[in-house]
Each structure stands twice: as C-alpha cells, then as structure tokens.
Amino acid sequence: MPEQPTDYRVAVYGSGGVGKTSLVLRFVRGTFRETYIPTIEDTYRQKGKPVIMRELMLRDGFYSVLPSFIVRDATTELSGL
C-alpha cells in the first residue's frame, strides 16, 4: 500500500507589518506582493507539497504571548532541553 504524504503545518506569528504575508506568499506561490495589504488571518496550502501555512497577526502585540513559544534554529543542536 502506498504511504500517504504527511501534512506539515507551519504557523507564522508576529506583529503587524513585519512581512509575514510576504514570506508565506513567497514560499507558497513564489510571488512577491509590491503593495502592502494588511491581513488579520490567512491559511495557505502549497499545491504539490504537503505544507499548510497559517498566518496570524496578533492585534495586542506579539510580545504578550512570546513566553508561550519556543523559538529555535533548526540548524543547531538541541541543548538545555
């Protein structure tokens, strides 16, 4: 039986106007939007690849929820966890 592809879900969080939508659109569609159009929440699915990107702007600022996230560089070894 063929193996089903795994969906990878990626969440992009941050303050307004920092480039979340530009980053997601570049990855998902290979495009860059020249004009700024504010978005509150969007979900994108990349065709042909099992990646679902979800973007969310935090109206009250990103720093209020920052302690809830673990931020890590995937190119370095885990330490202290």
DSSP of 4-53, one letter per residue? PPPPEEEEEEE-TTSSHHHHHHHHHHS---SS----SEEEEE-TTS-EEE
The average pLDDT across 60-79 equals 61
Report if residue 42 sits inside a domain: yes
What domain range is 18 assigned to? 8-59
Give the tens place of pLDDT for each residue, 18-62. Answer: 787 787 778 777 888 788 777 655 666 656 555 555 656 666 666
Report if residue 75 sits inside a domain: no
Report if residue 16 sits inside a domain: yes
Report if residue 77 sits inside a domain: no
Helix (H) or strand (E) holding 66: none
What's this model's pTM, rounded to 2 decimal places?
A: 0.48
The predicted structure's pLDDT at residue 69: 61
Report if residue 38 sits inside a domain: yes
CA gap 56, 29 in Å, rounded: 18
Could you give the number of structural domains in the chain? 1
CA gap 41, 57 in Å, rounded: 6
